[in-house]
Structure 1
């Protein structure tokens, strides 16, 4: 079976921060969870991830060691979901398998049992198969699209309804042909609709509540709770570790801007350093390394190494975040305090918060950026440079890395 994972969405309902396919869930990226499920299934011969072409490098980095799997291929997506599906189908190797599973990366937790049930349905003669869940809530028909303040028109009989999930499995040649023949002006929300229109049998199998779709920021908290409960880790005492970082850079004699908190801030002078001198990101890196017990920024990026001359400190923070994931930990919160008389930080605080959140794979609400002065005291008070201190809060989920069971 070929697996096609759709990861080209823009996450318009997710709020601020990176697209949901790049956000971290239980220690790894959302897309990595979905890829791992297919990598671990013996029936999968090829895995195609469809993403925006300009994000292919970011996607590869988010997969970690999974990116080295020889079955993996990344291809560019389209504007709509159906365009991305067609791109994935065209990239599939028909000699690798006769079946194809089309899956949304936004459904990261895919139990192996669901894949097994889908394959059984296809081997039993289905033209297509999909996992579904029963509708357990009472359904109301309303007179408009807004859910707040809209009149109720009546109650919908839910007895013949089910909630569709992915992956949806098809015969590869069949679904490719149907997509190529489909009227491009007609939008479809899932691929089963093409089989339905042909009148051939579509079979449902039991889905899984953990296969929920991540749509809003709150969904991440819900799904993490389901994962922990399923793994029994709700019996663990959380292993929370806090690291602190501190950094100082003096102003250079050269003109600004100054790179602070991942952005360029208007300043009379730039900051003197071997790299770009981003005092804020340097402090955050050391806070993360401290929580990991993993040295400091000088250990990983020594100023004696010309490779880091004028380096972008965003790469340093990205490396620190990857070290967290490699240890099976999750960054829960980052907090940064900048100490300076100049430049003024306030007008740029929100941009710094957004940039740091994006680099760390967090929502902006999990990043604090503050600024203060030293009341004209010391080198910062004299306007000779900037100091920064940071705190990183990490949660470790692996027992091998120090977690302990409650008694």
Structure 2
């Protein structure tokens, strides 16, 4: 099943103030759009992310996504949202599922996307929604009629659809629609409601940015700890923190036996309560035979992002009598920073011995400890 996330970012969005279109305004020292791109890219079920933009904003776009994972080329949008979505769908070409998201909703949670995709098992579409809880009244200056809240919902994005039926619906839609669920329903598709998220609010006015900045500033820290051991086996080198280090022996393991990255992967998974490395990459699975452990670490980092977190810093300690780590330590830091897309100064790699005590002291293997701090 190929799932593509289509982010609509072609609007002017000037009601939020400060001159720039809101999708390119700064939020937590990064563009609003980059938050949406990063979170959707990190979801394990999303295979591709495309963004629909105003071609006049190409410079803004390039700056906004410079620090996130590479994605497909942007799509030139139209004068209306409906036209922009159709342009994006046509550019995708083929997919099984499409998630259509407004760039101005940066706080996308993994759980919402999970619920949307699950709901497509029996429906042509699904939207996240929150029930209306405030009293509703009609009026113009003074209150008139009460409006019942029964069955009323506030609809959010992303909205999920089977790709081919939605593309056909858009191609034949009457002009003026502002919501993809409306177009889908007009074409006879059943659209399910799933639980939305209060944090998935849309940035429209200046006060919305103030609220978002408060949320960014009030995020809490979480810490994870990881520990791993691999015994020595016949060979001529060991892989430690992504670097091949010459040695008289190798480390035994189903993958490349990178004890440092395994410990760090567990630390990240522990920080978000996502189990351990064996849950995600079973050691008996032939798919991971000889696999580079950087894949495991990147997966854990993506799960952190998809959960609404960001990695603040990581610290790895390698415990062995040999090989010597010092000559390779900076290369290890740089490789870990590359995998996690972090500045090098947020990555620490250290080494110690056990004064010839225990299995590491007897040179039977190497152990590693790791700590990861995330802001969530």
Q: TM-score range by the shorter chain?
A: 0.5 to 0.7
The equivalent of 1:72 in structure 2 is: 72
- In structure 1, which of residues 123, 127, 142 is the aligned counterpart of residue 124 of structure 2? 127
* Partner residue, 1:212: 201
The aligned residue for residue 153 of structure 1 is: 144
Q: Give the whole-Å Cα distance in 1 for the aligned partners of 2:221 and 2:135.
A: 32
| Per-residue deviation, residues 246-295 of structure 1 (Å, max 9, x unmatched) | xxxxxxxxxxxxxxxxxxxxxxxxxxxxxxxxxxxxxxxxxxxxxxxxxx
Long gaps (5+) in structure 2: 223-310, 313-344, 348-372
Paired residues of 2:169 and 2:187 also in contact (CA < 8 A): no
Runs of 4+ in 1 over 3 A off after TM superposition: none
Residue correspondence of structure 1 range 33-44 to structure 2 within 5 A: 33-44=35-46
User: What SS does the aligned partner of 1:38 have?
Assistant: helix
What residue number does 1:32 align with?
34
**Corresponding residue for residue 113 of structure 1:** 111
- Residue 193 (str. 1) matches residue 182 (str. 2): yes
Query: C-alpha separation between the residues in 2 aligned to 1:75 and 1:122?
Result: 26
Separation in 2 of the partners of 1:120 and 1:225? 32
- Equivalent residues in 2 for 1:320-339, closer than 5 Å: none
- In 1, Cα distance between equivalents of 2:67 and 2:72: 11
Structure 2 CA distance for aligned equivalents of residues 132 and 86 of structure 1:
23
Pairs within 5 Å for 1:159-238: 159-184=150-175, 187-229=176-218, 231-232=219-220
Displacement of 1:116 in angstroms is 0.6
* Residue pair 1:3, 1:47 contacting (<8 A) in 2 also: yes
Distance 2:124 2:98 in 1: 12
Give me the whole-angstrom Cα distance separating, in 2, the residues matched to 1:101 and 1:83.
16
Q: Give the Å deviation of 1:112.
A: 0.8
Task: Write the distance in 2 (CA, Å) between the matches of 1:180 and 1:101.
Answer: 17
Helix, strand or coil at the partner of 1:110: coil
CA 1:36–1:204: 2 relative to 1, 3 Å: same
Kindly report which structure 2 residues correspond to 1:344-363, keeping only aligned pairs within 5 A, or say none.
Answer: none
Q: TM-score, normalised by structure 1?
A: 0.53
| Distance apart, 1:63 and its partner CA | 1.1
- Using the TM superposition, give the Cα deviation of residue 203 of structure 1 relative to its aligned residue in structure 2, in angstroms: 0.8
Closer, same or farther: CA 200–183 of 1 in aligned 2, 3 Å: closer
* Partners of 2:29 and 2:198 in 1: CA distance: 20
Question: Tell me, what secondary structure is at the counterpart of 2:44?
Answer: coil
Following TM superposition, by how much is the alpha carbon of 1:233 offset from its aligned partner in structure 2, in angstroms?
Answer: 5.8
Provide the residue aligned with 2:295 in structure 1: none
Quote the Cα distance in structure 2 between the aligned partners of 1:128 and 1:227. Answer: 31
For residues 196 and 215 of structure 2, the distance between their equivalents in structure 1, rounded to whole angstroms, comes to 15
Please give the per-residue CA displacement for 1:100-119, whole angstroms capped at 9, x wherever unaligned.
00000010110111101101
Question: How many residues are paired up?
Answer: 227
Worse-superposed segment, 215-224 or 197-206: 197-206
Report if the CA contact (8 A) 1:102-1:169 is conserved.
yes
